[in-house]
Amino acid sequence: MLCLSFSLTHAQSDVNDVHIQPRVQPNPQRDSVDASLKTGTATIRKNVNLVLVPVTVTDSSNRVITGLDRQNFQVYEDKHPQEIKHFSGEDAPVSIGILLDVSGSMATKIERAREAVLQLLKTSNPQDEFFLMTFADAPALVEDFTSNPDEIQRQLLFTAPKGRTSLIDAIFLGINNMKKAKHQRKALLIISDGGDNRSRYTEGDVKSLVKEADVLVYSIGVFDREFRTIEERLGPELLGEVSDLTGAHCYTLDNPNDLLQIAERIGLELRSQYVLGYHPDNSSRNGKWRKIKVRLALPSGISALHVQARTGYYAPSR
């Protein structure tokens, strides 16, 4: 299972971040950041030769690590080292899509799910934008991109659980809606309590899609202690694999009361990510999948840290 199991006893420490002082003093000229990394302007979108890699760093207690410098990261593409040309550790705005399961099995969990969404909105950057999509028998975009959290909160009041679970179709539609995002950084948050039992698209379809899309897919699975169907049993695995492909985290819970703190943690991760940018030394435009690996180069005395980043991207085909 690729999802992270969550224990309430560690909730408080999980949402506290840890700051590491860079081993070298900041240099304004060396650490200058391309403006498009901060604002999501069209410069980066049009430059197909620049690969951006959002990175989350955590310690052994799963606390988010901030304060690292460009020199603390190494990026490899297909095992070849790449020169990091752009670096940002700032809280840049994000376009966030919220995919909320409102199938019948969510009846006893929907109130906590609403509270989790509100918590994510509270921890957001004022410049962030959001859309809200619900899914049961079919996904529905109930609030398109807005920078006003009140509009999302208003729509949450009308969520009434019923029907089955079209999880894969919702991810597909959510990724597609991200084409309208105005920020360079993009993320989906899925809150669901079961596997897919209604979608037209397949698991293979959605995995191919998320590999092509430059979107982080966070997921929170609130699962019963006993799986009644094969779809429910495969639900954690599906969410974990989708999130892992994008370099985001997946969390599995068996208590809806934990939803609030996990949503807070995801908000913290989005506020505390590093963005690395490099120009691939492989200039061929063959449309093939290229693997990405991010490693840390830390001063002596720093304990082992964990890096979460996207696993790769498709090269341009023309």
Whether the Cβ atoms of residue 279 and residue 29 lie closer than 8 Å to each other: no
pLDDT the model gives residue 92: 93
pLDDT tens for the chain, residues 1 to 318: 446 665 444 443 344 455 554 444 444 443 444 443 343 332 233 345 899 999 999 999 989 999 999 999 999 999 999 999 999 999 999 999 999 999 999 999 999 999 999 999 999 999 999 999 999 999 999 999 999 999 999 999 999 999 999 999 999 999 999 999 999 999 999 999 988 999 999 999 999 999 999 999 999 999 877 766 777 778 889 999 999 999 999 999 989 999 999 999 999 999 999 999 999 999 999 999 999 999 999 888 888 899 999 999 999 887
| Number of domains forming the structure of the chain | 2
**Rg of the chain over CA atoms, in angstroms?**
19
Domain-embedded: residue 9 = no
Shared domain check, 248 and 216? yes
Domain-embedded: residue 1 = no
pLDDT the model gives residue 32: 42
Whether the Cβ atoms of residue 216 and residue 187 lie closer than 8 Å to each other: yes
Q: Which residues touch 149 (CB under 8 Å, ≥6 apart)?
A: 121, 122, 124, 130
Shared domain check, 80 and 151? no
pLDDT the model gives residue 87: 97
pLDDT the model gives residue 234: 80
Shared domain check, 109 and 242? yes
Shared domain check, 123 and 65? no
Shared domain check, 127 and 84? no
Domain-embedded: residue 3 = no
Domain CATH code at residue 251: 3.40.50.410
pLDDT the model gives residue 9: 40
Domain-embedded: residue 5 = no
Domain that holds residue 151: 94-271
Whether the Cβ atoms of residue 73 and residue 294 lie closer than 8 Å to each other: yes
Shared domain check, 119 and 29? no
pLDDT the model gives residue 20: 52
Domain-embedded: residue 164 = yes
Shared domain check, 262 and 199? yes
The model carries a pTM of 0.85
Domain-embedded: residue 182 = yes
Shared domain check, 103 and 21? no
Shared domain check, 199 and 62? no
